[in-house]
Amino acid sequence: MTTFTHETDYLIVGSGAVGMAFADVLLSETDANIMIVDKYHKPGGHWNVAYPFVTLHQPSAFYGVSSTELSKGCIDEIGLNKGLNELATGAEVSAYFDNVMRERFLTSGRVSYFPMCEYKGNGRFVSLLNGDEHQVTVNKKTVDATYLKTSVPCTHKPSFSIAQKAQFMPINDLVKIDKKPAGFVIIGGGKTGIDACLWLLENNVDPDDIQWIMPRDAWLIDRKNTQPTIEFFNDAIGAQASQMEAIAQSTSVDDMFERLEKAGVFLRLDPNVWPEMFHGATVSSLELAQLQRVKNVIRMGRVTHVGEQDIQLEKGEIKTSLEHIHIDCSASAITNLVVKPIFADDVITPQTVRSYQPIFSAAFIAHIEAAYPDEKTKNHICAVVPLPNSAMDWLRITAAFMRNQHIWSQDEDLKKWLLSNRLDGFSQLVRSVDKSDMEKMMILSRLRENAMPAMGKLQQYLAAEAAQGA
């Protein structure tokens, strides 16, 4: 075992999407030297262990690092995303980050990369392969790009017990099945559970052979409203205008969600079940129609035990067998929901500063680090938009996002940066509107006119909730 010493301007812990997006902006906008340390053998973070059929849930144009396009700029013509901007596969995303590291970062001469290393804190990391220790002198900042810890099914430990003989597997192993089981039991109602159901249905599994354990129903986002290209302007920006109207005109929180659903901002799996969860999952209309083919949805709370003959849940039990396959989709995508200051002395902790977009947020935070002088100003510009869990959290993230947008709109230099950054597709979409296009101008007018009343309603509802909890 050998000990090595290093010196760098920025030490970035984690080469997942957040760490890569942060490093990319530093590389473009500063002359700093950067060191990246990661436990995986190649960049991409959780994409290294994602299930084989995973894709992005958002258009590829919104993902990756600022300098390098991921999207091929095409519309899907087949499949359940038909008619919408393409979604990169997990393999494409993994290859993309590997190429960015090799062809952009390392060739710059200013980035050094240490894969297969475990960070121990205080500038120290250890090789997982040979035990070599490394001590780094950091001249400027350490960036903790692992704070928004992504949990994936194949690496997380289920919160419930499992009988030894029960057939139980993470979603990753679905592709290894070589014999028809008595049935499939999907455990988890979030994005991973959605993907498991859709994959089975796309592979012609009878929907009656699927049981879907859903502890909480979720409000879902129509992916059509997230498209960043001009042909979808009326859907994307129109949905934002409708969202502001729905909030502004609502008389209660429930009334607000009903208006949002009626306006097409939100979708839900079952019109007879009121959702309690919101994780920002997106689906296409074709995907939703497929999911609604699964009729055996179990709403008895969380699983407590998977047995040989039955499954115990918080509110009851259901039958199973040793011939059923139980698919674990219970891992939370993001496990660290505690908000902390992004800029704190010599440490930067990237978190979301825009709803649903941790990658854009990392790039934005790197720009603020490079362009603004003091910690107080940086934290003022980079107020955290908290990650959502419950439906009420949607109010919190929307209010926080609107607050940030207002602050950013007062800074001309920042507005220019946003307009030029490829990860901020909506700014470019709004700017591209021809002022003679009265339909689009009316949408923008609705958006602006309802923004302040909507903010007032959100603050009113959140204040009422806080008073009830006091």
- Find the CATH number of the domain harbouring 275: 3.50.50.60
For residue 187, pLDDT beyond 90: yes
Strand-pair category, 220-222 with 210-213: unpaired
Give, in degrees to the nearest 5, the angle at Cα 75 between 73 and 80.
135
Residue 211 lies in a domain: yes
One domain, residues 146 and 78: yes
Looking at the structure, do residues 209 and 284 belong to the same domain, yes or no? yes
Q: pLDDT value at position 432?
A: 85
Number of separate domains in the chain: 3
pLDDT at 250: 98
Task: Please tell me whether residues 174 and 298 are part of one structural domain.
Answer: yes
Average pLDDT, the chain: 94
Mean pLDDT (whole number) for 287-302: 97
Q: Which of 68, 51, 52 is nearest to 60 (CA)?
A: 68
Residue 83 lies in a domain: yes
Task: Tell me, yes or no, whether 206 and 239 share the same domain.
Answer: no
Residue 193 shares a structural domain with residue 260? no
- Residues 400-427 pLDDT 10s: 999 999 999 999 999 999 999 999 978 8
Bridging pattern class, strands 167-170 and 324-328: parallel
The pLDDT of residue 434? 87
| Same-domain status, 159 and 276 | yes
pLDDT interval class at 296 (50, 70, 90): very high
* Residue 290 within a domain: yes
Q: 136-151, pLDDT tens digit by residue?
A: 999 999 999 999 876 6
Mean pLDDT of 44-73: 93
Q: What pLDDT sits at residue 334?
A: 57
pLDDT-derived band of residue 152, with 50, 70 and 90 as boundaries?
A: low
Q: Determine the pLDDT at residue 113.
A: 98
Q: What is the mean pLDDT of residues 187-206?
A: 96
- Tell whether 46 and 117 lie within a shared domain: yes
Does 108 map to a domain?
A: yes
Give the bridge partners for 170, in sequence order.
328
Q: Is 462 exposed, middle or buried (0-12, 13-18, 19+ CB in 10 A)?
A: middle
- Tell me how far apart the alpha carbons of residues 319 and 420 are, in angstroms, rounded to a whole number: 56
Among the candidates 293, 316, 333, a domain finishes at: 333
Whether 183 and 322 map to the same domain: the answer is yes
110-123 pLDDT, tens per residue?
999 999 999 999 99
Give the domain extent around 241: 227-267+433-465
Q: Give the per-residue SS3 of the chain.
A: CCEEEEEEEEEEECCCHHHHHHHHHHHHHCCCCEEEECCCCCCCHHHHHCCCCCECCCCHHHCCCCCCCCCCCCECCCCCCCCCECCCEHHHHHHHHHHHHHHHHHHHCCEEEECCEEEEECCEEEECCCCCEEEEEEEEEEEECCCCCECCCCCCCCCCEECCCCEEEEHHHHHHCCCCCCEEEEECCCHHHHHHHHHHHHCCCCHHHEEEECCCCECEEEHHHHCCCHHHHHHHHHHHHHHHHHHHHCCCHHHHHHHHHHCCCEECCCCCCCCCECCCCEECHHHHHHHCCCCCEECCCCEEEECCCEEEECCEEEECCCCEEEEECCCCCECCCCCCCCEECCEECCCCCCCCCHHHHHHHHHHHHHHCCCHHHHHHHCCCCCCCCECCHHHHHHHHHHHHHHHHHCCHHHHHHHHHCCCCHHHHHHHCCCCCCHHHHHHHHHHHHHHHHHHHHHHHHHHHHHHHHC
Does the residue 412 lie in any domain? Answer: no
> What average pLDDT does this structure show over 323-343?
84
Residue 177 and residue 111 share a domain: no
pLDDT of residue 428: 84
Predicted local distance difference test score (pLDDT) of residue 430: 86
Query: So what's the pLDDT on residue 431?
Result: 85
The predicted model scores a pTM of 0.95
Among 333, 356, 386, give the residue marking a domain's end: 333
d(CA 138, CA 253): 48
> How far, in Å, are 4, 87, 128 from residue 152 at the CA level?
33, 19, 21
Residue at which a domain ends, from 403, 418, 443: 403
Model pLDDT for residues 235-277, shown as the tens digit of each residue: 999 999 999 999 999 999 999 999 999 999 999 999 999 999 9
Least confident window among 188-192, 283-287, 322-326:
188-192
Same domain, 191 and 316: yes
> Is position 411 within any domain?
no
The mean per-residue pLDDT over the stretch 203-226 comes to: 97
User: Token pair 């115990």 is at which residue?
Assistant: 312
Q: Specify the residue for token string 């806080």.
A: 466
- Both 365 and 449 in one domain: the answer is no
**27, amino acid identity:** L
pLDDT at site 335? 57
261 with 202: CB under 8 angstroms?
A: no
Residues 93 and 189 in one domain: no
**129 part of a folded domain:** yes
- Band the pLDDT of 153: cuts 50, 70, 90: low
For residue 114 the two structure tokens come to 């240490």
Residue 414 falls inside a structural domain: no
Average pLDDT over residues 93-113: 98
